[in-house]
Amino acid sequence: METMEQIRIVEALLFASDKPLSSIALADCLPEGANIDQLLTDLREQYANRGVNLVEVAGKWMFQTAPDLAFLLRKEVEQERRLSRAAVETLAIISYHQPVTRAEVEEVRGVSLSKGILDVLMEAEWVRPIGRRRTPGRPMTYGTSDHFLVHFGLNSIKDLPGLAELKAAGFLDNVNTSRLNLLDDPKPTEEQPELPVSSGE
Amino acid sequence: METMEQIRIVEALLFASDKPLSSIALADCLPEGANIDQLLTDLREQYANRGVNLVEVAGKWMFQTAPDLAFLLRKEVEQERRLSRAAVETLAIISYHQPVTRAEVEEVRGVSLSKGILDVLMEAEWVRPIGRRRTPGRPMTYGTSDHFLVHFGLNSIKDLPGLAELKAAGFLDNVNTSRLNLLDDPKPTEEQPELPVSSGE
Amino acid sequence: MNTKEPEQQSAFEEQASVILSPDDEERLILDIDGFEGPLDVLLTLARTQKVDLKQISILELVQQFLKFVDDAKVQKLEKAADYLVMAAWLAYLKSRLLLPEETSEDELSAEEMAARLTHQLQRLSAIRDASATLMSRNQLKRDVFARGMPEPVIVTKNATYELSLYELLRGYADHKTRKSIADIRIHKREVYTLDQALERLRGLIGIAVDWTDLFQFLPDSIEGDDMTRSVKASLFTASLEMAREGKAEIVQKQTFGPLYIRKKDRSD
C-alpha cells in the first residue's frame, strides 16, 4: 500500500472521530510495518496551514479547528457554568501539584475548600481521584484526567504552562499541610498510588 | 481577506458543525462579497483525493469519510439493528409515493401495516409526518426526511432511480416489462398539496 | 543562626519603616466577602506595598492584617474564624519579630517564619498566574472544536438502523416484482359466457329468416380485442350447441370462411 493511501486511512479515521485516537489504535487499521509516527507527522504537516489542524493531546491524536479561527467559532459555553475563581484556582493547584490531597489544596489557598468545588471539577471530568497518601488518615489524592489534557490542548502534564518556572522557584515542593502552624517542618510524604481508580481509557 | 483564509474559515465551520451547512449559512461568516460557491468548489477539489471528502447533500455541505474508506468505520456499524423486510419495503414505498397515508401504504403493499413499522422508520428519522390529506378523516401523510437524503447520499428525492432505471440496473429481472408499464410508476414528488403539520423541525 | 538574629530583626524594621505609609493603610477598606480566605487578604495587602513579593515588609503586613480583621470581625465573626486564627498566628509572629529571639532547638526563628509566610504568598501568587494562563489557553468546545459530526457514531440514536441505498432499492424492486405477479392472478379477464351467447343466439335466430353470418349476431356493446374474441368463441360454441340440439343448421363453404346459421324448426 502506498504511503498516500495510508495517510488517507489515518486521515479518515481521525477525521471521523470527535475524540483523540492513539497511534496504536490507528496502527491497527494499517498494514503491518506501516510507520505510523511518520504518517502522523506528515499528516500534521499537511494540515498545518489549514482551517483544521492535527494536534497531539493527552498522548493521542485528533483534528480540531485552527486556534486562530477561535474568534469566529467561539461559543459561550452554555452547559458548563463559568467556573468560580475558587474552582479555577483549585483546578490549577491540582494540575500543578498532583497528586495532591484536599488538605494540601487548602494549604496552598490558605482557606478551606467549600464542598461543591471538587464535585464541580470531577463532574467536568477534569479532576479524578488518583490514590491514597500513605500518611495517617490515608487521605485521597487527586490529579487531572486525560479529558483535562484534551480540553486544554496539552499533550501531558509536563506541558502545563510555566511548570518549569514554578518548579524552579520551589513552589511545587511538598506542601506542608499543618496549615496555619507554620512552625512545623514540612515532611516529605510519599505518594502511594494504591486504590488506583479505574485507569480508564 | 485572501481566498485561502476564506477557505480555511469554510473548512473549520464545516468541520465543527454538527449538521450540514447551507452555503448561505457559511456566507454569513465570511466577509461581504465572498464567492462562497467558488470557495466550496475549491474546497471540494482540495479534498477530492483525501481520506475525507466534501459532499453536498440535501442542498447543504458536509465532510464525509471517502466512500472507499467506509470499511474502516464498519466496526461500530455492526452493532446496529437491521430493518425487517416489511420495514424496508414500507420505507421504499413511502419514499417513492410520498406524500402517502398509512392506508395508501397498506393498499400498495396489500397487507396491513403492523404498528411498529412506522415507529421504527420514524425513530430512525428517515420518515416524518408531512401533513394531512384534505379528505374525510384528514389522514396523516408521510414522507422522507432530510436525514433520509443524507443517509442515502441523495441530493433530492428526485434522485431516486425510476422503475425504468431499476429495470436497466437489473433490479426487476423477473418482471414482465409490458406488465410493468401498466403499473403506476409514481414520480417521486416534493410538492405538498397537503395541509402542513406544525412546521416544527 | 541565633547570632544573626539581631541583624535580621533590624532588617525587618528598616524595611517596615521604609515602606509603611499611612496612605496605603487608609485606602484599604476591606470586606471579607470579597476574599478567598486570609492568605488572599494578605496577598492583596502585600501588593499594596508595591514591591516584589520577596521584598515585602512582614511587620507592616501583620499590622495591616490585624487592622483588617478588627474591622471585619464585628460583622462576620463566623466567617472570620480562619481570619482569626491567622490573626493570632501573625500576632505571635509579630511579637517574635519585635522581641529578642529566645534560642530554641525546636522552633523556627522568627525570620524563618516570616520567610515561610512570604514563600506561601509567592506560591499563591504564582499559582494564580498559572491558573490565569491555563484558563486563557484555547479550550476545546470554546475556542477550538472537534469534528461536529463524528462518523463512528456509537451512541447516537440516528444510527441505530442500518440500511443501504441498495437495500432500499432492492426492497422496492422486490415489492414491484411481487405486485406484478399478483396482478396477473387478480385481474381476471372479462368473458362472454356460453350461457350469455346461447341466450342471445336463441333470441336472434328466430328473427332472421334466412342463412345469416354468425358474427352478425355480435352484440354492439363489446369493447376491446379480448372481449371480442371471447364473444366470438362463445357464439361459435353456442351455435354448435344449438346444432347439436337440432335447433339450428350451420354451413361453412370454405376453410376460414364465414359461418352461416339458420333456424331449424323440428316441429315443422
Is residue B98 within 8 A of residue B130, CB to CB? The reply is yes
> Based on the domain organization, do A104 and A158 belong to the same domain?
yes
Please tell me the distance from the alpha carbon of residue A96 to that of residue A173, in angstroms, as a whole number.
Answer: 10
Per the domain annotation, does A201 fall within a domain? no
Cell of residue B40, nine digits: 466550496
> Based on the domain organization, do A15 and A42 belong to the same domain?
yes
Is A52 in CB contact (< 8 Å) with chain B?
Answer: yes
**Residue B76 pLDDT greater than 80, yes or no:** no
In sequence order, what are the beta bridge partners of A90?
none
Contacts of residue C71, defined as CB under 8 A and 6 or more positions apart, other chains included, come to C29, C30
Chains in touch with B (3+ beta-carbon pairs under 8 Å) read: A, C
- Cross-chain Cβ contact A91/C138 below 8 Å: no
> Based on the domain organization, do A109 and A190 belong to the same domain?
yes
Partners of residue A15 in chain B, C-beta under 8 Å:
51-52, 63, 65
> Based on the domain organization, do B22 and B96 belong to the same domain?
no
> Based on the domain organization, do A187 and A136 belong to the same domain?
yes
Rounded alpha-carbon distances, angstroms, from residue A128 to A80, A111, A135, A139: 18, 21, 20, 14
Is A88 in CB contact (< 8 Å) with chain C?
Answer: yes
Please tell me the distance from the alpha carbon of residue C125 to that of residue C122, in angstroms, as a whole number.
Answer: 5
> Based on the domain organization, do B122 and B47 belong to the same domain?
no
Rounded alpha-carbon distances, angstroms, from residue C225 to C230, C231, C236, C238: 9, 10, 16, 20
DSSP state of C79: T
Per the domain annotation, does A52 fall within a domain? yes
- DSSP readout, C235-259? HHHHHHHHHHHTSEEEEE-STTPPE
Interface with B, mutate which of C139, C145, C169, C181 (most B CBs under 10 A)? C169
Determine if the peptide bond prior to C22 is cis (ω within 30°). Answer: no
DSSP state of C190: P
> Based on the domain organization, do B121 and B149 belong to the same domain?
yes
Is A10 in CB contact (< 8 Å) with chain B?
Answer: yes
Instruction: Give the residue on C whose Cα is nearest the Cα of B127.
Output: C158
CA distance C144 to chain A (A): 5
Q: pLDDT tens across A157-185, in order? A: 999 999 999 999 889 988 766 544 444 44
Please tell me the distance from the alpha carbon of residue C162 to that of residue B53, in angstroms, as a whole number.
Answer: 22
Is residue B163 within 8 A of residue B177, CB to CB? The reply is no
Per the domain annotation, does B74 fall within a domain? no
Partners of residue A50 in chain B, C-beta under 8 Å:
8, 11
Is residue C75 within 8 A of residue C34, CB to CB? The reply is no
Among B69, B92, B123, which residue terminates a domain? B69
Lowest mean pLDDT among A24-28, B63-67, B174-178, C7-11: C7-11
pLDDT value at residue C19: 34
Structural domain of residue A54, as residue ranges?
3-69
Among B69, B96, B112, which residue terminates a domain? B69
CA distance B85 to chain C (A): 7
Q: Which parts of chain C fold into alpha helices (H)?
A: 5-19, 22-27, 38-48, 58-73, 81-98, 110-135, 165-186, 194-205, 225-245
What is the tally of structural domains in chain B? 2
Partners of residue A19 in chain C, C-beta under 8 Å:
146, 150
Is residue C215 within 8 A of residue C235, CB to CB? The reply is yes
> ipTM, 2 decimals?
0.58
pLDDT value at residue A158: 93
Of the partner residues C89, C150, C151, the one whose CB lies closest to the CB of residue A180: C89
Chains in touch with C (3+ beta-carbon pairs under 8 Å) read: A, B
B54-83 residues touching C, CB cutoff 8 A: 62-65, 73, 75-77, 80-83
CA dihedral A193, A112, C97, C107 (to 10 degrees): -40
> Based on the domain organization, do A104 and A174 belong to the same domain?
yes
Phi and psi dihedrals of C42, rounded to 5? -60, -40
Determine the distance from the C-alpha atom of residue C10 to the mean position of all C-alpha atoms in its chain, rounded to a whole number: 68
- Cross-chain Cβ contact B12/A65 below 8 Å: yes
What parts of chain A have a pLDDT lower than 50?
Answer: 78-79, 179-201
Please tell me the distance from the alpha carbon of residue A155 to that of residue A59, in angstroms, as a whole number.
Answer: 5
Q: pLDDT tens across B153-168, in order? A: 777 887 787 777 777 6
Q: Specify the pTM.
A: 0.56
Please tell me the distance from the alpha carbon of residue C147 to that of residue A62, in angstroms, as a whole number.
Answer: 9
> Based on the domain organization, do A22 and A104 belong to the same domain?
no
- Cross-chain Cβ contact C139/A15 below 8 Å: no
CA distance A109 to chain C (A): 6
Per the domain annotation, does B181 fall within a domain? yes
Partners of residue A86 in chain C, C-beta under 8 Å:
36
CA distance C166 to chain A (A): 23
pLDDT value at residue B6: 94
Per the domain annotation, does A93 fall within a domain? yes
Per the domain annotation, does B93 fall within a domain? yes
CA dihedral B73, B78, B84, B88 (to 10 degrees): 10
Domain containing A105 — which CATH number?
1.10.10.10
Contacts of residue B199, defined as CB under 8 A and 6 or more positions apart, other chains included, come to none
Nearest 5 degrees, angle CA C207-CA C210-CA C211? Answer: 115
Phi and psi dihedrals of B96, rounded to 5? -85, -30
Partners of residue B50 in chain A, C-beta under 8 Å:
8, 11
Per the domain annotation, does B201 fall within a domain? no
Cell of residue C230, nine digits: 371471447
Instruction: Give the residue on B whose Cα is nearest the Cα of A49.
Output: B8
What parts of chain C have a pLDDT lower than 50?
Answer: 1-29, 153-159, 183-186, 268
> Based on the domain organization, do A111 and A184 belong to the same domain?
yes
Nearest 5 degrees, angle CA A194-CA A195-CA A201? Answer: 110
End-to-end CA distance of chain A: 31
Q: Which residue in A23, A59, A15, A58 sits closest to A40, CA to CA? A: A23
Among B19, B48, B69, which residue terminates a domain? B69
Of the partner residues A10, A29, A50, the one whose CB lies closest to the CB of residue B11: A50
Q: Which residue in A178, A21, C167 sits closest to B95, CA to CA? A: C167
Is A42 in CB contact (< 8 Å) with chain B?
Answer: no
pLDDT value at residue C77: 59
Residues of C with a Cβ under 8 Å from any B Cβ are: 145-149, 151-154, 157-165, 167-177, 179-180, 182-184
Please tell me the distance from the alpha carbon of residue B102 to that of residue B94, in angstroms, as a whole number.
Answer: 9
> Based on the domain organization, do A65 and A85 belong to the same domain?
no
Please tell me the distance from the alpha carbon of residue C174 to that of residue B174, in angstroms, as a whole number.
Answer: 9
pLDDT value at residue A177: 65
> Based on the domain organization, do A125 and A188 belong to the same domain?
yes
Cell of residue B201, nine digits: 423541525
Per the domain annotation, does A75 fall within a domain? no
